[in-house]
């Protein structure tokens, strides 16, 4: 039986699956062959589209692709067959003799093949197409939700969430809105995402109990997500045996602790047979972990991996571990070094179903960081690369900042130099993003931030894709039949938005010039004398952190030789990362030919001008965009321009006062 397509609550935006995007599918005749729950989902999608637009769908063996007994011909054949080499999620696509064919060896592949047809639109049914094989680059493409069950007094319902409340939890309990959760799973499946962690990595008391007496609430979410091939994961507290059952220890080598976790996992899989596994933040920013017992992170991860292994589960162990109580006076301690120092010596010690989840940069999702050296240092460990779709340091979904180009640079980066593997090729454990979704009617708060979620899914499936092509795909789906003026306008405001944001915020890779705590808006010295290890060391003579091996913290030497040599030298270090790796005078001349101080002044003026121009372009699209969407974006642009001006004026004034060097163009600096 076809599974009905979820019905969105009134006023909720359909994002990249508006009804009109399914018209090319819905006007045609489709034959579906295969069985099982996911094939029922495929059937439901096609039946709903045909019901709206007058097409027809047939399920089973009746008829054939090129001619049914009644003489009818099918335009589309969706088939689960014994095709080899496609894997569990891959599919083959082709068109011959007037019939478009999607063949998969499993139901997951058929689901992704269906959404491939939707993305192609009318092009899926035009002309002959030689057989193409499509497979995801990695088996796990995951979103980590930082959603709290109980409202945190500081962080709220969703930590670092900029799109309203949680889709899953509200005021200490499950929301129980299965239809919207199922609609969310549908959006994710349409871009190839196949896993979701449903709670915050900072696991407090209420969230810890999701593992035991509140497990039924997690099972309810898993049931809602399952029809679209989404496996549910749970963030857990390393000290759960102590917090929940009063064990005297959480030592990962203690037999009682290991037995406790084995029992907990057994109960989880009894309730959720397709459960994905655990996400763990341990010994980081105050969270408990194996260090308390003199054990390594491999000991901690392997204990949980052993409990999960009989059921095919995975533990995702986050590598975000550093000293968060640093002395700002000590220039020898370097937060950027921490993950490599902690984890690289453990390469080869992690269990096969343990994944080390590594932030894409060594610090914390800044607008510009080098790629983490850990991603090239552990060839015998399953690694996952973690990016941040929620815009904590990139405008908090009040600013337009499309992150596709950043993520593409990271995923294509070759950690050993030109001949080595890319980050995407090294990430055998998956590609993960911190979610940017909430219960806002537009899902992501800022309607244009939907492009980040869509782009993440598509790049996780195919990391070598051109992000600009992915953006065009999002535009075509979200605005079906968009006239050229609208499509061109969307490209104009989105394509360069990451670099625009970089221009008016922290320069040349220095990072963290934000207001402490909430991280929104300029605070040039906000973290400069703090315990968090996020310094820029600006003084009257220069700015930047010396991370060279010769005279600094030695961080540059954590890279393979090809990159260590590039980053070690001021002369070869890329301009955009100069202040991350080196402390230089304000008069230092960049490869661009400008001095550091003039670059700071120029880019901050340019960034504001570009934000103002984007606001103007958006205002001119008002006759082509649905009024509620246009108004929401216009309102956010007003805030973006206001904030960009504040960034410009505070950063430029700060460095004028520090350096005493005037702007070469004589512009007003306060």
| Catalytic machinery residues | 285, 364, 392
Give CA–CA dist 670/660, Å, rounded: 12
Closest listed residue to residue 406, CA positions, set 521, 501, 533, 519: 501
Q: What one-character DSSP code corresponds to residue 503?
A: H
Q: Sign of dihedral through CA atoms 267, 268, 272, 273?
A: negative
Give CA–CA dist 576/509, Å, rounded: 6
Q: Which two tokens stand for residue 344?
A: 């690289």
DSSP, residue by residue, 279-324: EE--SSTT---GGGGT--HHHHHHHHHHHHGGGT-EEEEE-----S
Beta-strand relationship, 314-318 and 354-359: parallel
Give CA–CA dist 435/184, Å, rounded: 12
Give CA–CA dist 37/113, Å, rounded: 16
8 A C-beta contact, residue 352 and residue 382: yes
8 A C-beta contact, residue 438 and residue 163: yes
Q: Which residue has the tokens 């040039």?
A: 524
Beta-strand relationship, 156-158 and 147-152: antiparallel
Give CA–CA dist 550/572, Å, rounded: 15
Query: Which H/E stretch holds residue 234?
Result: strand 231-235
Helix, strand and coil percent figures for the chain, each rounded to 5: 40, 15, 45
8 A C-beta contact, residue 281 and residue 202: yes
Q: What is the dihedral of CA 527, 532, 533, 538, to 10 degrees?
A: 10
Q: CA 456 from chain center: how many Å?
A: 6
* φ, ψ (nearest 5 deg) of residue 422: -80, 165
The packing angle between helices 255-271 and 215-225, to 10°, is 50
Q: Where are the alpha helices (DSSP H) in 288-368?
A: 297-308, 338-343
* φ, ψ (nearest 5 deg) of residue 417: 105, -175
Give CA–CA dist 518/392, Å, rounded: 8
Closest listed residue to residue 463, CA positions, set 406, 381, 520: 406
Give CA–CA dist 227/221, Å, rounded: 11
Q: CA 9 from chain center: how many Å?
A: 25
> What distance separates the 2 farthest-apart alpha carbons in the chain?
86
Give CA–CA dist 654/505, Å, rounded: 13
Q: Where are the alpha helices (DSSP H) in 92-230?
A: 107-120, 178-191, 205-208, 215-225
Q: Which residue has the tokens 């993950």?
A: 339
């Amino acid at each position: 039986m076809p599974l009905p397509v979820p019905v969105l609550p009134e006023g909720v935006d359909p994002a990249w699956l508006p009804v009109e995007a399914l018209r090319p599918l819905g006007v045609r005749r489709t034959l579906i062959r295969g069985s099982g729950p996911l094939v029922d989902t495929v059937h439901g999608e096609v039946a709903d589209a045909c019901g709206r637009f007058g097409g027809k769908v047939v399920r089973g063996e009746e008829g054939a692709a090129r001619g049914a007994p009644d003489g009818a011909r099918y335009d589309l054949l969706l088939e689960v067959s014994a095709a080899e080499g496609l894997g569990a999620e891959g599919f083959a696509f082709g068109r011959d003799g007037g019939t478009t064919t999607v063949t998969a060896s499993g139901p997951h592949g058929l689901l992704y093949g269906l959404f491939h047809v939707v993305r192609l639109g009318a092009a899926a049914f035009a002309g002959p197409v030689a057989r193409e094989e499509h497979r995801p680059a990695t088996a796990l493409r995951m979103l980590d939700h930082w959603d709290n069950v109980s409202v945190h007094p500081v962080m709220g319902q969703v930590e670092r969430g900029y799109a309203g409340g949680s889709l899953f939890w509200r005021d200490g309990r499950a929301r129980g809105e299965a239809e919207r959760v199922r609609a969310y799973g549908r959006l994710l499946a349409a871009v190839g995402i196949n896993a979701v962690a449903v709670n915050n990595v900072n696991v407090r008391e209420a969230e810890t109990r999701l593992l035991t007496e509140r497990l039924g609430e997690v099972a309810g979410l898993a049931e809602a997500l399952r029809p679209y091939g989404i496996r549910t994961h749970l963030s857990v507290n390393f000290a759960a045996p102590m917090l929940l059952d009063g064990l005297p220890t959480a030592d990962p080598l203690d037999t009682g602790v290991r037995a406790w976790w084995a029992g907990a996992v057994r109960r989880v899989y009894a309730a959720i047979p397709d459960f994905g596994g655990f996400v763990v933040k341990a010994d980081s920013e105050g969270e408990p972990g194996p260090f308390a017992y003199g054990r390594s992170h491999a000991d901690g991860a392997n204990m949980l991996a052993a409990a999960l292994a009989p059921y095919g589960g995975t533990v995702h162990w986050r590598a975000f571990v550093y000293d968060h109580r640093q002395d700002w006076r000590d220039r020898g301690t370097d937060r950027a070094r921490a993950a490599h120092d902690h984890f690289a010596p453990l390469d080869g010690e992690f269990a096969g179903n343990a994944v080390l989840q590594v932030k894409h940069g060594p610090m914390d999702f800044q607008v510009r960081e080098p790629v983490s050296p850990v991603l090239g240092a552990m060839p015998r460990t399953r690694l996952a690369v973690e990016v941040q779709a929620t815009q904590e340091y990139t405008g908090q979904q009040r600013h337009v900042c499309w992150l596709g180009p950043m993520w593409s640079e990271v995923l294509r980066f070759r950690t050993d130099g030109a001949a080595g593997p890319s980050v995407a090729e090294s990430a055998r454990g998956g590609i993960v993003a911190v979610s940017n979704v909430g219960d806002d009617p537009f899902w992501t708060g800022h309607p244009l931030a939907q492009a980040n979620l869509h782009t993440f899914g598509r790049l996780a499936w195919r990391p070598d894709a051109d992000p600009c092509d992915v953006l065009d795909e999002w535009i075509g789906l979200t605005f079906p039949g968009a006239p050229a003026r609208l499509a061109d306008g969307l490209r104009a405001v989105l394509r360069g938005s990451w670099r625009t944001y970089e221009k008016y915020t922290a320069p040349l890779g220095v990072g963290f010039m934000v207001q402490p705590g909430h991280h929104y808006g300029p605070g040039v010295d906000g973290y400069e004398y703090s315990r968090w290890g996020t310094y820029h060391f600006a003084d009257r003579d220069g700015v930047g952190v010396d991370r060279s091996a010769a005279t600094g913290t030695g961080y540059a030497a954590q890279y393979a030789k090809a990159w260590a040599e590039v980053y070690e030298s001021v002369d070869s270090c890329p301009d955009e990362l100069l202040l991350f790796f080196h402390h230089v005078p304000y008069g230092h001349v960049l490869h661009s030919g400008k001095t550091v101080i003039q670059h700071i002044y120029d880019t901050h003026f340019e960034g504001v001008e570009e934000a103002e121009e984007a606001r103007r372009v958006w205002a001119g699209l008002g006759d082509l965009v649905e009024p509620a969407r246009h108004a929401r974006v216009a309102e956010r642009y007003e805030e973006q321009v206001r904030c960009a001006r504040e960034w410009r004026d505070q950063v430029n004034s700060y460095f004028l006062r520090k350096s005493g060097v005037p702007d070469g163009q004589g512009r007003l600096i306060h």
